[in-house]
Chains A and B, each alone.
Chain A
């Protein structure tokens, strides 16, 4: 059983006490920062990225993964309690979760979100473990031509799946390309657009770019929706969901996990698509679709699970193909590059400890 060997190696790496510590610290920090309203996982990672510089590569990535999950959960908390999603996929959580909180069921909502996330995370982890071998074999057959094709696919996917107009996305892609042009030309080593500034010869550094694009842009975006920070002051009573709640959310969690797992693998789709599709699916098959948006527990459980499943499986295209599926995975790729690992098909074969360690 090759799979079991891989998993064993992964656990061996992941379960050393340093790495467990990194993961714990990361999750703790992630939740702490993620709970701040309006700050999503992307911003959290951008802020906390410098902390991981001193760590060894595996530890740093494990810590970042911890931050990611922590921030994701912290984001759901604010989405439910103050109707302030920290990231795009939290919007769906806020739809029904905040309504539940208004009805005094904030505790139940938080618990269901946690249970759904945990379940989805576990299932999709096993899914990654099972499929990564095949995927990475596929990845190894990639040459330069295939890589170009992948890039084009990623750019097209970004344009089509992004919200809003295709033309606007095209502008963003082209502006991104022009920012990438700054620095030394790879072919002729001629400096382009550096205006004689020595620091620009290597191109724009990743950290300033990430802070500007993800950190500050995110803050600016929260300004667009002012004044919806209605606080729920009701005491959180009864954290544990009742039997009926559990029963009502069991199937949605399962379905959400399935939807999220599949959609998370699609490069360029990210978690928003997953949670949105899961929500629509629940609404479609529900016998009482009019309850959605008014505190339906299914409408919270399914997207929240889908969100987490997609977050997990989106690591597959990132680690094996080097293709980010969203701002967060893009940041993770940047983090890997900083630690001297070039993301791509080679990662699985050259650094099995890293891949399996992160997965576990």
Chain B
């Protein structure tokens, strides 16, 4: 149950963020809660559950060491390329505009799928960004930068 450790780590990370960056918020009392009350409660709750899940993973690991794991493998490639694609869009939209950043996003995300059909990917990226440009700029008239800012 390696997966349990990932879940526990995720929960613990959220808990630490809550507790660290919320430490300056006044706690108040249960009757007159300050802004820091609920964040602390949620953070501590997350820590407790994280510990429980890690413990479960530890016990499960010992018990099932002989049994082959039936879990499907984690798709790192897919998760990474889609995550990167979204991040790339967020970073690029202001400097290089919608059309170019959509091309980058679609291309990076399409790497989630196996195979090396570069031509197909390029066509998909170009087509989708053209559609996106048409819908959001011409169709809906959203105030988004279309072309790179330096043009």
Bitwise interface map of A from 232 to 263 toward B, beta carbon under 8 Å scored 1, else 0: 00000000000000000000000000000000
Determine which of A168, A185, A187, A192 lies in contact with B53 in the assembled complex, contact meaning CB atoms within 8 Å: A168
B residues touching A (Cβ–Cβ < 8 Å)? 7, 10-11, 14, 17-18, 21-22, 25, 33-35, 38-39, 42-43, 45-46, 49-50, 52-53, 56, 72, 75, 78-79, 82, 86, 112, 140
Query: Which residues in B have their C-beta under 8 angstroms from that of A223?
Result: 75, 78-79, 82, 112
Q: Give the residue among A178, A192, A219 with the most B Cβ atoms within 10 A.
A: A178
| Pair count A-B, CB < 8 A | 72
Query: Which residues in A have their C-beta under 8 angstroms from that of B45?
Result: 174
Q: List 8 A-B contacts (CB under 8 A).
A: A167-B49, A167-B56, A174-B42, A174-B49, A175-B11, A178-B42, A192-B25, A216-B86
CA distance A178 to B52 in the complex (A): 19
Bitwise interface map of A from 181 to 202 toward B, beta carbon under 8 Å scored 1, else 0: 1000101101011010000000
The binding surface of chain A is classed by DSSP as helix
Is B35 in contact with A168, judged by CB distance below 8 angstroms? Answer: no
Query: Which residues in B have their C-beta under 8 angstroms from that of A50?
Result: 140
- Which residues 43-74 in A have Cβ within 8 Å of B in the complex? 50, 54
Is B38 in contact with A181, judged by CB distance below 8 angstroms? Answer: yes
Rank and list the top 5 A-B pairs by shortest CB-CB distance, nearest first: A223-B78, A185-B35, A190-B35, A223-B75, A171-B11
CA distance A178 to B41 in the complex (A): 10
A51: nearest residue on chain B (CB-CB)?
B140
Query: Which residues in B have their C-beta under 8 angstroms from that of A54?
Result: 140
Determine which of A175, A190, A193, A219 lies in contact with B46 in the assembled complex, contact meaning CB atoms within 8 Å: A175
CA distance A178 to B42 in the complex (A): 7
> A225 an interface residue at 8 Å Cβ cutoff?
yes
